[in-house]
Amino acid sequence: MAEKLNLRQLKVPVTNLLKKVFSRERFTANLDIAVGEHGVSEKSDRGDLKLEVWLESSPDGIRVKGDIQGSVSLQCTRCLEEYRQDLDIAVDEFYRRAGLSTLGGDGRRLADGEIQEEDEYVIAEGAIDLNLLLNDAVMLSLPIKHLCTEECKGLCQWCGKNLNEGECGCVREVIDPRLEVLKTLLESGEE
Ligand SMILES: [Zn+2]
Ligand SMILES: [Zn+2]
């Protein structure tokens, strides 16, 4: 089960905004975010990842438009060191009024507790939860491979030294994994 951000500061009350249709409000937050194998988490309560959006009310809900800029902390899958990844993400999403979510996309009335789409953004208890938006935006914008540099040498498989910091002295043969299978077969034949 992936962890997700659940920061109170990102639960933004919008009751007043909804009362004045077509009005808008600025919302900003500075965050310090790490992305690990379990998802997104907060490192400290202030960092250089900046969420800057306009919240615009309409009869159906709140449009959230702006950007997420700065960097997040990642762990390199080869050398296991932490590194920073720059992000610059344009955001344009819509949080629907909760009342409207009782109708499905086909106009059919949904049963109590039934949710039309699991990851849909809905206004709940007079607030929009920007944790959802931030999670989705960050996870979708990251490269599939988390590498500190494209050339990262990783760790020595014998002594564990980070080879980006220099040679360890272990004698390493570079063997193609496909040839490794052949070598094992040959060695077992020798006995
Ligand atoms: Zn690395
Ligand atoms: Zn070594």
- For the stretch 58-114, pLDDT in tens is 999 999 999 999 999 999 999 999 999 999 999 999 999 876 545 555 555 555 555
- Residue-range domain boundaries for the chain: 8-141, 153-191
Could you tell me the distance, in angstroms and rounded to a whole number, from the CA of residue 45 to the centre of ligand 2? Answer: 38
Other CB atoms within 10 A of residue 16 CB: 11
Structure-model confidence comparison of residues 167 and 120, the more confident one: 167
- Does residue 150 surpass a pLDDT of 90? yes
Q: Which ligand is nearest to the CA of 154?
A: 1
Q: Which region holds residue 119: left if phi is over 0, alpha if psi is between -120 and 50, else beta?
A: alpha
- For the stretch 35-64, pLDDT in tens is 987 778 888 877 899 999 999 999 999 999
DSSP conformation class of 149: S
128 by Cβ neighbours in 10 Å (0-12 / 13-18 / 19+) ranks as buried
Could you tell me the distance, in angstroms and rounded to a whole number, from the CA of residue 153 to the centre of ligand 2? Answer: 12
Q: Which ligand is nearest to the CA of 75?
A: 1
Nearest in space to 9 (alpha carbons), one of 50, 57, 39, 69: 50
Those residues whose beta carbon sits under 5 angstroms from the ion ligand 2 are 156, 158-159, 168, 170
Q: Which ligand is nearest to the CA of 152?
A: 1
- pLDDT at res. 174: 66
> Under a CB-based contact definition with an 8 Å cutoff, are residues 67 and 57 in contact?
no
- For the stretch 118-143, pLDDT in tens is 557 999 999 999 999 999 999 999 99
- For the stretch 17-38, pLDDT in tens is 999 999 999 999 999 999 987 7
Could you tell me the distance, in angstroms and rounded to a whole number, from the CA of residue 190 to the centre of ligand 2? Answer: 28
Could you tell me the distance, in angstroms and rounded to a whole number, from the CA of residue 151 to the centre of ligand 1? Answer: 8
